[in-house]
Amino acid sequence: MRALRSLSLALDPDWIDFAVRHVDPTFSLTRTFARVVEIRRETADTTTLVLRPNRRFRGFVPGQHVPVRVLIGGVVHERCYSPTSEPHERTLAITVKRQPSGTVSRWVSDTAALGDVVEIGPAAGEFVLPPASTTPLLLIAGGSGITAVWSLARAALRRRADADVALLYYARRRADFAFARGIEELSARHEGFRVRFLPQSPEDGEVAAGRFSEAHLAESAPDWAERDTFLCGPAGLTKAVKRHWQSAGLVHRLRCEAFALATSAADASEDASRDTRGPTSVSFRRSVRTALSSAPTLLAVAESAGLRPPTGCRMGICRTCTCVKVSGTVRDRVTGEIDSAAGSRIRICVSEPLGPVTLDL
């Protein structure tokens, strides 16, 4: 009997993982671990980590994102990043823009070292090219949103070398355009790939391109209404582009991915004005608690009340924090949509209470 118990223990996947990872930290029978094998600085605040995952990794489709889990200060933090490597490569690259208050992005930029090991989850997301489509593409990227869009551009041109692809790329300054050299080289090789870099701030006597406008479309993609459009960027850019497509009745031709909450000056001002509202009552049904808080999101309210709901990216991408809203009205800080329906499922990391709310937490 003792021998059987020992054999059962020895065959337990968790026990095997625990034993072998003392020798190889990337080994696992059930989980995907990856070692940092290269670190590249793309811009002053953007870093690429090249990871070599174990054999558990099943790959990705360009435009998808992968959850990355990092142990920092004894706590596991998870964020989602779009791979910037090619799907066929043995290594996996993620490119991260440093955020002043970003726990994981600051680790990537300031602390990550060769040999470090992180855990990655399966790729997910529907921000991918339609299969076998020959429709011309319009790609719009802002800031770190270029990671997913850059993957889509290369995938489209890999599928068809003569693909018709127009890219509008917004960044604060010229020095902030990640992958600029690679984008320019790809454009030089493919006549149908047309790129316009749009810096927000003037430099060296240049006139700033400013925010997204109809003029940018007219100059770079006058046939934009006939193109399948993919958009990835901050909330301000997303809001402006969506408004234009909605006014034209073409929102069904627009596919969006959001990598961050509002960061532009106008959006920050808008958020500041919302934060001046009085405290809101949020009730947690299963925990039998009620909190009165002015925190900007329901996740922040829950955590301030001592709850620890499941979270992942904390940016509205991975949906780990999704739960049932029993009652109340909330606003999605990424899409701007208002939800007053009872029993709807919401992402509490990006949901702002607009009045008393009850959650099934």
> For 180-205, what is each residue's pLDDT tens digit?
999 999 999 999 999 999 998 877 66
Instruction: Please indicate, yes or no, whether residues 283 and 243 belong to a single structural domain of this protein.
Output: no
Alpha carbon 356 to its chain centroid, in Å, reads 29
Within-domain flag for 304: yes
> For 283-296, what is each residue's pLDDT tens digit?
999 999 999 988 88
| Cα-trace Rg, the chain | 22
Please list the residues that pair with 49 across neighbouring strands. Answer: 39, 94
In 3D space, the residue among 303, 311, 297 whose CA is nearest the CA of residue 78 turns out to be 311
**Average pLDDT of 86-93?**
96
Q: Would the pLDDT of 76 be above 70?
A: yes
Total domains in the chain come to 3
Written as six digits, the tokens of 93 are: 């690259």
Within-domain flag for 14: no
**Average pLDDT of 134-159?**
96
Q: Would the pLDDT of 4 be above 70?
A: no
Instruction: Please indicate, yes or no, whether residues 192 and 242 belong to a single structural domain of this protein.
Output: yes
CATH value at residue 234: 3.40.50.80
Among 62, 90, 120, the domain-final residue is 120
Instruction: Please indicate, yes or no, whether residues 142 and 254 belong to a single structural domain of this protein.
Output: yes
In 3D space, the residue among 193, 61, 171 whose CA is nearest the CA of residue 127 turns out to be 61
pLDDT score for 74 = 79
Dist. CA 86–CA 278, nearest whole Å:
48
Query: Residue ranges of the alpha helices (H) in the chain?
Result: 2-11, 13-20, 103-106, 146-159, 180-189, 214-220, 235-247, 265-274, 298-304
Among 120, 153, 169, the domain-final residue is 120
Within-domain flag for 213: yes
SS3 271: helix
pLDDT score for 276 = 43
Question: In terms of residue numbers, what domain contains 249?
Answer: 137-266
Among 266, 292, 315, the domain-final residue is 266
Instruction: Please indicate, yes or no, whether residues 262 and 297 belong to a single structural domain of this protein.
Output: no
Instruction: Please indicate, yes or no, whether residues 246 and 166 belong to a single structural domain of this protein.
Output: yes
Within-domain flag for 166: yes
Within-domain flag for 291: yes
CB 257 within 8 A of CB 346: no
Within-domain flag for 50: yes
pLDDT score for 25 = 77
Query: What pTM does this model have?
Result: 0.73
Residue 358 host element (H or E): strand 357-359
Instruction: Please indicate, yes or no, whether residues 218 and 332 belong to a single structural domain of this protein.
Output: no
Which tops the pLDDT comparison, 313 or 265? 313
Contacts of 3 (CB under 8 A, 6+ apart): none
Instruction: Please indicate, yes or no, whether residues 181 and 219 belong to a single structural domain of this protein.
Output: yes
> For 10-53, what is each residue's pLDDT tens digit?
556 766 766 666 667 787 888 899 999 999 999 999 999 999 99
267-274 LR contacts (CB < 8 Å, sep 24+): 267/234, 267/235, 267/236, 267/239, 271/296, 271/333, 274/352
Within-domain flag for 176: yes
Instruction: Please indicate, yes or no, whether residues 99 and 149 belong to a single structural domain of this protein.
Output: no
Q: Would the pLDDT of 267 be above 60?
A: no
Instruction: Please indicate, yes or no, whether residues 318 and 281 belong to a single structural domain of this protein.
Output: yes
SS3 49: strand
